[in-house]
Amino acid sequence: MSSSRTRRSSCRDLSLTSAASAARTRLGHTLTEVVFGGATSHGVTAVVQWQDWLGRAEDDAKLPLYKQGRRRSYQDLAEEAGDSLSAQLQPAVLEERGRMIQGALDRLRRDIEAARLDVLVVIGDDQGEAFPPSSTPTLAIHTGEQATAAQMPVPDDAAPWMHRAVAGLGMDRSRPLPTAGELAVQVIGSLARQGFDVAPFNTDVTGRGLGHAFTFPHRRLLLDGPVRLLPILINTYYAPNQPTPARCYAIGAALCQALKTAGTSDRVGILASGGLSHFIVEEDLDRSVLEAIARSDRHILERLPAERLLEGSSEIRNWIAAAGVFAQHPVKWCEYVPTRRSPAGSGCGNGFLTWQV
């Protein structure tokens, strides 16, 4: 899914090549430059080999499963599907989809490397790592020059796939992550002036950590390297204060404005982390989101039914926010790999894309 249309970008003046940028440089001002935009899924099917997906599938009956916004039992979904999904569960198909996922992640990693980033803004969500679920703010941004990666506890007798998955997510141990505190403070100030209430937080102060929405990109796409993160947490999961899809899009548009006026010399990338549909794969939902992003159709994105954005599918809100940043940029490339691992249709709609910046 890509577009070759040329669009006038609301963020184009972030480029140092523009006349306005040159004028600001002559006046002695520094300029933050946005040079990359992308989005990635980050679930189990993205971090372990296909054989391990089957181990994860054994536990799927214990998960809260939703389809078309309704809570459903694993048994009910399996009976409804009958043998319609059996071809998708063949080893050769699973192996090929695993190769497609890793190929897309490798391409995303190469694009990020080519952008020569100083900072990667990651729009993700929290699942009880940085904040208790009962006290999760609608919108939070990490400040400080270092964050802590949360460690996901895994029992010693857990299945081998679980140990591999936790390591792939970057949560096998607590470790420091470089973060862009100076830029974060400027972004928070701009968002506040634009009418957004932001909760600043610092894991070094709270004693908590960042979850896999942030540790996975740092490990898989940044290779645990020196590029600093700017973690933006949107509460996608926990009622009652989840932002609407329209509010998420507005957050992205405001973030675009915040980076326009930021006074650092950083080369910045923006990455949405999470999604697409899971724990039940809903291809109609995923494709409608990807097509709306490719068309820059904000109305479709803003009007997505909130009842379909539950559990893991709620992370589609992060993609909507990123789409708000890059509203005037065409999609450069997109890969969608719907990956089911059980007769009930559980798994993940894996999506990967970049914008032409």
Model pLDDT for residues 316-352, shown as the tens digit of each residue: 999 999 999 999 999 999 999 999 999 999 999 999 9
**Predicted confidence band at 31 (pLDDT cuts at 50, 70, 90)?**
confident
pLDDT of 29: 55
Residue 27 has pLDDT above 50, yes or no: no
Residue type, 210: L
Number of domains the chain contains: 1
198: phi then psi, degrees, rounded to nearest 5: -115, 135
Q: Strand pairing partners for 121?
A: 230, 270
Provide the residue range defining the domain that includes 85: 12-355
pLDDT in tens, 128-164: 999 999 999 999 999 999 999 999 999 989 999 999 9
CA distance 269 to 35: 6
In a domain, 6, yes or no: no
Least confident piece of the model among 10-24, 141-155, 190-204, 228-242: 10-24
The residue ranges of DSSP E strands in 225-330, in sequence order, are 228-234, 267-273
Q: Is the pLDDT score of 104 beyond 60?
A: yes
206 domain-assigned: yes
CB contact at 8 A, 135 and 199: no
Tell me the residue type at 67. Answer: K
Helices (H), 116-244: 160-168, 181-193, 203-206, 212-216
Tell me the mean pLDDT in the region 202-222.
96
Nearest to 331 by CA among 303, 296, 299, 285: 296
DSSP state letters, 65-107: EEETTEEE-HHHHHHHHTTTTGGGGSHHHHHHHHHHHHHHHHH
Is 1 within a domain? no
The answer to whether residue 331 sits within a structural domain is yes
Alpha-carbon distance 11 to 21, whole Å?
12
Number of Cβ atoms within 10 Å of the Cβ of 4: 6
Which CATH number belongs to the domain containing residue 262 in this structure?
A: 3.40.830.10
Q: Tell me the one-letter amino acid at 33.
A: E
Per DSSP, the three-state class of 288 is helix
Flag whether 195 is in a domain.
Answer: yes
Q: Does the bond joining 279 to the residue before it have cis omega, within 30 degrees of 0?
A: yes
